[in-house]
Structure 1
């Protein structure tokens, strides 16, 4: 019976219909405690003596008994990450189409023993849910000393057959090479060895949204799942700690919550194959909401047991983000790249645009389970220490920027443009605590005293709904053109009034203005030129 046939049966029959497991399920069934060994298999003596490059093709005894084909392949491979080591790979042809010495990527399972010592280390299980011969889901299970600890799961929602970038049958850690583009979702679950079930842990989910149908992602969200009793003091980044999500099991893992949410947007609408992952704005939310959402139990009959994983469904993720009960909120706006790092998409690494979106920092106002990597230069941070159940924004005519309503303070380190020279900092304050910034302080790097302070009554602030389409239109059609026009006019007038001798910093900023950058980035660079010219004119 093929895996597709089993899936169709699962739609019309009760779970009792599966009292007799398919051969591939029986072959890889774990013993109590989530343990899986190869050394007790009847083929082990022959397989363990294979040399690198050699293979065996066998028939499953369980399939033979049931009158099926049940092909299996065993091969010894040299590891790609360490060419001095070998691994034994057991391929189970779940869908009955094995030819030659290779499995396929749509419905086969790969069980991997890194040291060929009989102990299972990884399992990659590919699932073709709709029978079109391409993968729709993929699990990467991680075993420690032969005991299942956790699994990455991937769901290919846009049907482009891309999910995980693998090397030696495990996630490489490079999600740029995986699939953060389009509609997709990945998530991690922890295995409960006593109850033999999955639990949400770590990144659960990372969800990507193609809101305009161009095959790129314009919104990304990540939930950090951790036990609700985790310690912010001793384990501030619990959800991102491998020691935690892959260590020994303990009971508090059964009481998980969403303790951090990152929620990022491409506001200017420039995400494309030429400008991938073009996120500007992101919320960082910390709290402690129990992990309990409608539709979070995902039953997949073609998955090896346990067949039910736990994750908030893709279609519900954005709504959860927008109503999440946050104890504190961080807001980030990426203004420009940092010349001191190259952490962006491989097609443009110096842009520093990350597949994870735009998120918080580990300095000044620490927000637990934020993760990384972090860009600090040319990134605006705003912080609201108060509880909130909705995400609110406003536009300030003072700096012509979108801000987090309710933020008490903000800051932005300026510099690292063209080289790693720091230039200064901008600080923002809501002095009367009415939800809007009313004080801006501008600093040059060499001084602890601001060279300019703007104290402005709250006049003309414009509240904004978190509506991506309307925000984009307002930002790109009204805010940016006017901000650029005003900057260029003021710069031209300042240069007339006080021609500035050749300033290497201004020259370097001008050189960074090119057709490749976005209008938002151009506005930021013009801001910096304006400020240097203003200070020179004033002095």
Structure 2
């Protein structure tokens, strides 16, 4: 280490070590006004009134390149002026191209154990940050970290991570209302993240969640689709990334009904798992200015020098998934009770016990973030259907082509409401789902008994006693289970919108025919008046389905009362064949 570096090191480190020993020197009256108040901690608190930061001119050009200061809890901080616009007398750096180092454990070192850092990067020189990298070297499994995380602001709203300056914790899931997250999850945005300290990462151009993409197709500042691709190496944890995406989850707001106070309303998710695809040719270069001399004071300064990141972007992620990916299985979930307001996806059900509930209890909702009751999951465990879909005849809904089986836990009124509240902080010692799990609930099970890719057997536990009181075989009814296959690799978001609208309209049209049939059969459908006037696309989908089901069950009841077995079979065939007109005399 040369004399200049040694001199600079002691000029920076020793005052901070001394400062750490003087905690409490400033009274609370001199603190920045929003220190530890109940208000949202949006910004880094300035030093106490009366405290004079120290500035250092590293390149001898007459202006400072570093500010040494303190923030809340008398915590030492260092600002590095990467765009050379810092002035003598400044209390802080800026958030367009500067770097902030936080010596949380007050040991005089930066970016070592327990410390954190933010670096803003203005890639196009317009004076506004386009990227932000966040480093948190908290020990693994603690409430804070660790994190190595890039956020890329594609929609230019200047929103990045949300950091709680009272506790020095990344609180990306803090929100107002049900789902207006302070983190930049809305609109067109990207983040790349690894839960690791940078010294565990062999190539800092790569990440574990690599990428998490948020698509805003209609440019309304809200997200219509998400893409999560993860690089999960086979020899983890010895190697953290290997340049292959082996997990992809795609989630869609099919009816595009997100809006203020309903910022997230995903309806369907599809997951691919397997060998995946190599993405090392997906290089994103950018200009990253930095004061190189300041690297000396950072334990692992490699992240400061990153000028390219490697990940599938908005234009290539879906194409690589469908055309380059090698997948072993595909999982599908549909938010039937329309209560999911999570930022990332409708969480998947696992192909486990139909009736067990609670996180990590071996049931469909085994995943900590799954809806306990209310979603419909389907599983293609050999990838025979390649993630494609179809609209079934038996219920008019979207199903996963190639699924061996599936199940729907019914929660008509979204009593087990799946808003945010699954894992407020991923590193809490015990995860709490915070849902109103209830029992009994109705369960429908679906099977593809002839392995042709289409469901042909439906079992119904309507009374919730965990026993199926009704089983229907489409083959025994003479109904052809085959349907038109929807190739998702050829679909854009507008095609999903068209699909959902046409599906919802078709279900409602069938409901109107069912109402007409019910009237002719002498059923009083005024009992179901609540569902007769849908006011949205989703209500057409939901009310249309349930009107048909209630009328179907009432017609069966009517036929059973007169012991008309022929009529019972005709009703089954009309309902599960999607052909109510067959009952018109």
Same fold (TM over 0.5): yes
The answer (yes or no) to whether the contact 1:192–1:199 under 8 Å persists in 2 is no
Partner of 1:188: 193
Cα 1:106–1:379, aligned 2, differ >3 Å: closer, same or farther? same
Partner of 1:41: 13
* Equivalent-residue separation in structure 1 for 2:202 and 2:246 (angstroms): 25
Say whether 1:326 aligns with 2:322. Answer: no
In the TM superposition, 1:387-426 aligns within 5 A as 387=383, 390-415=386-411, 417=413, 419=415, 420=438, 422-426=440-444
Partner of 2:273: 286
Q: Deviations 1:375-434 (Å, cap 9, x if unpaired)?
A: 142211111111469431222222111221111111101126264454311111111111
2:182 is aligned, of 177, 183, 189, to: 177
What secondary structure, in the 3-state scheme, does the structure 2 residue paired with 1:193 have? helix
* Equivalent-residue separation in structure 2 for 1:298 and 1:397 (angstroms): 49
Deviation of 1:491 after TM superposition, in Å, equals: 4.8
Could you say which structure has the larger radius of gyration?
2
Partner of 1:260: 247
* Equivalent-residue separation in structure 2 for 1:516 and 1:275 (angstroms): 15
Partner of 1:482: 506
Partner of 1:108: 98
* Equivalent-residue separation in structure 1 for 2:249 and 2:516 (angstroms): 40
Cα 1:422–1:532, aligned 2, differ >3 Å: closer, same or farther? farther
The answer (yes or no) to whether the contact 2:347–2:369 under 8 Å persists in 1 is no
Where do 5+ consecutive residues of structure 2 fail to align?
32-47, 175-180, 291-302, 354-361, 416-437, 561-585
In the TM superposition, 1:364-379 aligns within 5 A as 364=352, 373-379=369-375
Where do 5+ consecutive residues of structure 1 fail to align?
1-22, 30-36, 79-85, 231-249, 338-350
Deviation of 1:279 after TM superposition, in Å, equals: 2.1
Partner of 1:361: 349
* Equivalent-residue separation in structure 2 for 1:180 and 1:527 (angstroms): 38
**Structure 1 range deviating more: 156-165 or 511-520:** 511-520
Say whether 1:143 aligns with 2:137. Answer: yes
The answer (yes or no) to whether the contact 1:513–1:525 under 8 Å persists in 2 is no
Cα 1:520–1:354, aligned 2, differ >3 Å: closer, same or farther? farther
What secondary structure, in the 3-state scheme, does the structure 1 residue paired with 2:240 have? helix
The answer (yes or no) to whether the contact 1:47–1:74 under 8 Å persists in 2 is no
Cα 1:261–1:353, aligned 2, differ >3 Å: closer, same or farther? same
* Equivalent-residue separation in structure 2 for 1:118 and 1:67 (angstroms): 26
What secondary structure, in the 3-state scheme, does the structure 2 residue paired with 1:479 have? helix
Deviation of 1:511 after TM superposition, in Å, equals: 11
Say whether 1:125 aligns with 2:119. Answer: yes
The answer (yes or no) to whether the contact 1:124–1:140 under 8 Å persists in 2 is yes
Cα 1:132–1:283, aligned 2, differ >3 Å: closer, same or farther? same
Say whether 1:465 aligns with 2:460. Answer: no
Partner of 1:153: 150
Cα 1:172–1:459, aligned 2, differ >3 Å: closer, same or farther? closer
* Equivalent-residue separation in structure 2 for 1:43 and 1:300 (angstroms): 33
2:159 is aligned, of 134, 158, 162, to: 162
Cα 1:290–1:474, aligned 2, differ >3 Å: closer, same or farther? closer
Structure showing the higher strand proportion among its residues: 1
Deviation of 1:132 after TM superposition, in Å, equals: 2.5
Partner of 2:256: 269
Deviation of 1:311 after TM superposition, in Å, equals: 2.7
Partner of 1:522: 543
Cα 1:108–1:519, aligned 2, differ >3 Å: closer, same or farther? farther
Cα 1:530–1:333, aligned 2, differ >3 Å: closer, same or farther? farther
* Equivalent-residue separation in structure 1 for 2:367 and 2:231 (angstroms): 12
Cα 1:515–1:263, aligned 2, differ >3 Å: closer, same or farther? closer
* Equivalent-residue separation in structure 1 for 2:63 and 2:226 (angstroms): 44
The answer (yes or no) to whether the contact 2:208–2:230 under 8 Å persists in 1 is yes
* Equivalent-residue separation in structure 2 for 1:489 and 1:38 (angstroms): 83
* Equivalent-residue separation in structure 2 for 1:488 and 1:301 (angstroms): 61
Deviation of 1:451 after TM superposition, in Å, equals: 2.3
Cα 1:203–1:472, aligned 2, differ >3 Å: closer, same or farther? same
Partner of 1:316: 316
The answer (yes or no) to whether the contact 2:231–2:242 under 8 Å persists in 1 is no
The answer (yes or no) to whether the contact 1:284–1:359 under 8 Å persists in 2 is no
The answer (yes or no) to whether the contact 2:504–2:537 under 8 Å persists in 1 is no
What secondary structure, in the 3-state scheme, does the structure 2 residue paired with 1:314 have? coil
Q: Deviations 1:464-501 (Å, cap 9, x if unpaired)?
A: 2321323422431x321221132244256547635599
Deviation of 1:71 after TM superposition, in Å, equals: 4.3
The answer (yes or no) to whether the contact 1:397–1:461 under 8 Å persists in 2 is yes
Partner of 2:457: 439
* Equivalent-residue separation in structure 2 for 1:463 and 1:194 (angstroms): 45
Cα 1:411–1:531, aligned 2, differ >3 Å: closer, same or farther? farther
Cα 1:403–1:107, aligned 2, differ >3 Å: closer, same or farther? same
Partner of 2:425: none
Q: Deviations 1:288-329 (Å, cap 9, x if unpaired)?
A: 336533223645423652414443333221212223211111
- Per the normalisation by structure 1, the TM-score is 0.74
Partner of 1:237: none
The answer (yes or no) to whether the contact 2:82–2:289 under 8 Å persists in 1 is no
Cα 1:56–1:372, aligned 2, differ >3 Å: closer, same or farther? farther
* Equivalent-residue separation in structure 2 for 1:487 and 1:209 (angstroms): 34
* Equivalent-residue separation in structure 2 for 1:516 and 1:255 (angstroms): 43
What secondary structure, in the 3-state scheme, does the structure 1 residue paired with 2:511 have? helix
Say whether 1:213 aligns with 2:219. Answer: yes
